Amino acid sequence: MVLKGFESIGYHFKHQKDYQITAPYLLDKDIEKYQIRQYTQVLLQEGMFAIVLPDDLHMPKLMHETSEVIEKIVFKFKLSSKGVSSWQKL
């Protein structure tokens, strides 16, 4: 959720398979890195938020024409072993 300023994030659906893993998943940092040639760019402005699920590759902090300090909050929720399908039934 963006509290102040704006931020663009890149988005790509993992099942499209047109990407390369450049750094394997690190459990302690909860991160895996990819090289993606084409992705959708989403602009988040003050008061906006994005929900990113496990099969969504995302790239925060994309640069704009001007550099700006932003304030944001990131929440992470652990999904059950049943995955997203159990979440969608809520």
* pLDDT tens figures, 22-59: 999 898 888 889 898 888 999 999 999 999 887 888 88
Confidence of residue 82 (pLDDT cuts 50, 70, 90): low
Q: Check residue 16 and report its DSSP letter.
A: G
- Phi, psi (5° rounding) for residue 81? -65, -15
Q: For the chain, what is the domain count?
A: 1
The reported pTM is: 0.67
Query: What percent of the chain is predicted at pLDDT more than 70?
Result: 84
